[in-house]
A and B are shown apart, each in its own frame.
Chain A
Amino acid sequence: MKKMHIAAALTASAALVLTGCSAGGADAGSAGGDKIVVDMWAGSQDDTAALEAQVAIAQKANPDLKIELRTAPWGDFFTKLTTNMASGNMACVTGMNSGMLSSYTAGFAKLTDEDLATAGIVKDEFADGAMEILSNKGDAYGVPFDMATMLTYYNADMLGETGAPVPADGWTFDDFEATAKAATTDKHAGFGIGMGGFQWQALPIAKAGVQPVKQDGTLDLTNPAFVDAATWYGELVTKEKVAQPVSSASDTGWGENQYSSGMAAMAVDGTWNAVGYLDNDPGFTAGMAPLPAGPNGSLGLVLGSGFGIAQDCDNKEAALKVLGSLLSVESQDYIASSGRSYPARVSSQPLYFESLPAEYRDQVQSAFESAFSNVQGQYVTDNWSKIDTFIQPQLVSVYNGQESMANVLKTAQSQFGK
């Protein structure tokens, strides 16, 4: 009898376990049938609403399919994606960012020209360099819906009060230092030092004119030009004292937060935040300019996000159609005219500027056009996320004068450049 009880309990447990598993499977985007799941990050109600609007456009274009949207905040999205990939539960249409792609290529299907034709994507209709955004070692893993690069944002009120020179198109690193020094007072810093990968590397790359990774994916952190430029960057805190030292390695958005809260006169951040900075909470007048130019010009990286197709998607053709609809003219026009991000589709780009308040429009357009005129796709190594994770907490020690930038880069090179 006891054996029967145990057997009954185990059967019940197994039934529940299996029910749980199959329920997970039914939700999966990669499951068969006519349901296509779209998985994308969204940090706010506005983000979710904008994605829902794009999904509605895709749904209208594909009435025979059922499109379901799943979202998670940026910070959780990639953890969730890792788990989904490991359990074979990745959504058929999954969002991806240029900086993160190298760690996730195994989960995405390589997109061939036939795939793009099925999706209705014509490469020439996208901006120059846009298709590089979600490519890795020559293979395309997705199509971008937006493109971005890094800009210098400034607090025009703060610069006005201190009489600091205002950043402008064509400005140099000497001009940058002059502005940062003039805007530094007891109350606020001239510059918010960066902690995020894009944010801290943008100025060193622009100054050195080289990336810390070679085009073939070899790590090149100890390239003398990059080391010099990165050292200069760290010294903005320790030597020039135009930036506040970071208070903790967990403050990943330190410089941008300092800027947006009115504690720093300038910061480097992506074009994706342009509208957010113009509508900042403290209410200061925000301005933007391209990155300053070094001796070899001002090298910027083209970044962006888009959608790819899961490697194990059972209904690839339907997923491609959904992907095509999410990047259709109508959808791209929507994200452009809502001012949410700068679309990758050329014909939609003017709508982005038209969506901005008239007083900012010319300045933003000029900064964008100038910044995008000298961009290069980001080169990354296969273990780039490890390098990023290693360097970020080390930067805190650099900014607090306990470690040299050259040493950090040398250690990272020897540890990850094998």
Chain B
Amino acid sequence: MSNGTQTPRRGALAKSESRQALGFVSPALAGLALFTFVPVALSIVMGFFDWPTVGEKTFVGFDNYVKLFTDSPDFWPALRNTFVFALLYVPISVALSYLLALSLHSRIRGRGALRVLFFIPVVTPMVANVLVWKMLLQPQGLVNGLSQTWFGIELPNFLADPQWAMIMVVMMSVWQGLGYNMLIFSAALEQLPESVVEAARIDGATGIRMLWKITVPLTSPSIFFASIMTMISAMQVFVQPQMLTGGGPGNSTQPIVQFIYNQGFKFQDLGLAAAAAWILFAIIIAMTAAQFGAQKKWVHYEH
């Protein structure tokens, strides 16, 4: 009987709360509509139009997509550069930050301070980071200066050499993003189930065996999360090459997002830019889906 009287009250409360919640969430919904749904819908439409900044928009069907694949000298190199960057950046960044998190996991003194130090590049403005790296890497910079003073060897002009420029963009990006993944892995390592670890120790697992058979599988959801997010951010890389190498020399470090930026904002061809953006979107979705598909084989969830 008492249950019967309480149920409607809970229902009224829930309804009232949901109304309030809706009120609170509506500004966010408005933001979502204004800054996400509308631009996304508009960009789909744009991709099918010859859409100059000012002037008549003409429906061209799939011409922008065809043009990108067949007649745009910078599109394929930009795609290639993006893949090269992601292929180098994602494994190095994930592996290094995992190693760093492991190193700082042991009960060493000052590990909190060390974590903060490694996290500093993540929160420092990219412009400042790039300036420092440029000062290090330019021919009159610190790296070449030390090399000449100590070893008498003149190093290449790193940011102006087509082979070295991409490596330097990757290095700088890894340095910049290391702290973020490190924090994710540190959190996962802190939460390793003591019982499992202890049981493994009793069974004699140590060192690499302990790492490979126990620690990595137990933290695999975090590794999966970090890999997905790092891959998505790698495919969208823009600021590092734009500021460090200007996409050059030539177009050897120009990623697809810089290509999109140039088409849209420098050349005012918004239709072509939108089409390229949707190609990038499709690639990212496909890669993310593939990663989600593959996770069943290697990610270990505790139920």
Q: Which residues of A contact B (CB under 8 A)?
A: 1, 5, 8-10, 12-17, 20, 78-79, 82-83, 85-86, 103, 106-107, 244-252, 263, 311, 383, 385-386, 389, 392-394, 396-397, 399-400, 402-403, 415
Q: Are A82 and B34 in contact (CB under 8 A)?
A: no
How distant is the Cα of A358 from the Cα of B268 in the complex, in angstroms? 46
Selected contact of A400 from candidates B140, B247, B249, CB within 8 Å: B249
User: A103-B268, A247-B134, A400-B249 are known contacts. Are A5 and B22 too (CB-CB below 8 A)?
Assistant: yes
Q: Is B122 an interface residue (CB 8 A)?
A: no
A375 to chain B, nearest CB (A): 27
Give B214-271 interface residues, CB cut-off 8 Å to A: 242-251, 254, 262, 264-268, 270
Q: Would you call the interface of chain B mostly helix, strand, loop, or mixed? A: helix
Selected contact of B248 from candidates A244, A249, A263, CB within 8 Å: A249
Q: Are B30 and A13 in contact (CB under 8 A)?
A: yes
Contacts of A311 in B (CB 8 A): 54
B244 to chain A, nearest CB (A): 6
How distant is the Cα of A392 from the Cα of B248 in the complex, in angstroms? 9
Q: Are B22 and A9 in contact (CB under 8 A)?
A: yes
Q: Are A247 and B160 in contact (CB under 8 A)?
A: yes
A108 to chain B, nearest CB (A): 9
Q: Are B53 and A249 in contact (CB under 8 A)?
A: no
A200 to chain B, nearest CB (A): 14
Nearest A residue (CB) for B52? A106
Q: Are A5 and B245 in contact (CB under 8 A)?
A: no
Q: Are B161 and A400 in contact (CB under 8 A)?
A: yes
List 8 extra interface pairs beyond A14-B33, A16-B31, CB under 8 A. A9-B29, A13-B29, A14-B30, A79-B265, A82-B264, A247-B140, A247-B159, A403-B250
Q: Are B251 and A248 in contact (CB under 8 A)?
A: no
Q: Are A17 and B38 in contact (CB under 8 A)?
A: yes
Chain B interface residue number, banded: 35 or more
How distant is the Cα of A278 from the Cα of B292 in the complex, in angstroms? 62
Contacts of B243 in A (CB 8 A): 250
How distant is the Cα of A5 from the Cα of B24 in the complex, in angstroms? 12
Q: Is B187 an interface residue (CB 8 A)?
A: no
Q: Is B91 an interface residue (CB 8 A)?
A: no
Q: Are B30 and A386 in contact (CB under 8 A)?
A: no
A163 to chain B, nearest CB (A): 24
Q: Are B246 and A250 in contact (CB under 8 A)?
A: yes
Q: Is B18 an interface residue (CB 8 A)?
A: yes
Can you list 30 A-B pairs, Cβ within 8 angstroms, ordered by A? A9-B22, A12-B26, A13-B29, A13-B34, A16-B27, A16-B34, A17-B34, A17-B38, A82-B264, A85-B54, A86-B53, A106-B53, A106-B55, A244-B140, A246-B160, A248-B134, A248-B138, A248-B245, A249-B159, A249-B249, A263-B140, A386-B266, A393-B248, A396-B160, A396-B246, A397-B249, A397-B250, A400-B160, A400-B161, A400-B249
How distant is the Cα of A402 from the Cα of B160 in the complex, in angstroms? 10
User: A245-B157, A385-B267, A386-B267 are known contacts. Are A9 and B26 too (CB-CB below 8 A)?
Assistant: yes
Contacts of A400 in B (CB 8 A): 157, 160-161, 249
Nearest A residue (CB) for B74? A390
Selected contact of A249 from candidates B22, B29, B247, B264, CB within 8 Å: B247
B14 to chain A, nearest CB (A): 11
User: A86-B53, A311-B54 are known contacts. Are A245 and B246 too (CB-CB below 8 A)?
Assistant: no
Q: Is B137 an interface residue (CB 8 A)?
A: yes
User: A16-B27, A244-B140, A400-B161 are known contacts. Are A107 and B248 too (CB-CB below 8 A)?
Assistant: no
Give B28-42 interface residues, CB cut-off 8 Å to A: 29-34, 38
B155 to chain A, nearest CB (A): 12
A18 to chain B, nearest CB (A): 10
Q: Are A402 and B134 in contact (CB under 8 A)?
A: no
Q: Are B134 and A396 in contact (CB under 8 A)?
A: no
A342 to chain B, nearest CB (A): 28
Contacts of A15 in B (CB 8 A): 30
Selected contact of B246 from candidates A83, A252, A263, A386, CB within 8 Å: A252
Q: Is B25 an interface residue (CB 8 A)?
A: yes
How distant is the Cα of A78 from the Cα of B243 in the complex, in angstroms? 18
Q: Is B145 an interface residue (CB 8 A)?
A: no
Q: Which of A5, A247, A385, A399 has the most CB of B within 10 A?
A: A247
Q: Are B30 and A16 in contact (CB under 8 A)?
A: yes
Contacts of B30 in A (CB 8 A): 12-17
How distant is the Cα of A392 from the Cα of B264 in the complex, in angstroms? 18
Contacts of A82 in B (CB 8 A): 53, 264-265, 268
Q: Which of B27, B159, B262 has the most CB of A within 10 A?
A: B159
The 10 nearest A-B residue pairs measured at CB: A249-B248, A393-B248, A249-B246, A250-B246, A16-B30, A247-B138, A248-B159, A13-B30, A106-B54, A12-B26
